[in-house]
Amino acid sequence: MYSSYIDDKGYERLCNSGKLVHHLVAERKLGRKLKPWEAVHHRNRNKLDNRPINLHVSRQVISQFVGYTEVDSVGDYTLGV
């Protein structure tokens, strides 16, 4: 078991490192570290539901011109399926 806390944005983080728990779960399921361009999303939008079946890893594209983040469907992984 691990010690965690809920941050000011509602995400669970590890106490010892501050790492986001859903990132850790995704990395363990994939068997590798996340790439800098990958984002992990909660499929049911519940930020505390960190089960692999609820996590989705996708490539993130940052648009400087539009000023928001888009999710690209290339390289998507639904975990736990």
Domain boundaries, the chain: 4-78
pTM of the entire structure? 0.76
The torsion defined by the Cα of 44, 35, 75 and 49, in degrees rounded to 10, comes to: -10
pLDDT digits (tens, 9 = 90+) for 33-51: 999 889 999 999 999 999 9
Cβ–Cβ under 8 Å, residues 60 and 40: no
- In terms of residues, how long is the chain? 81
Q: Report the SS3 class of residue 54.
A: helix
Mean pLDDT of the region 53-63: 79
pLDDT for the residue 40? 93
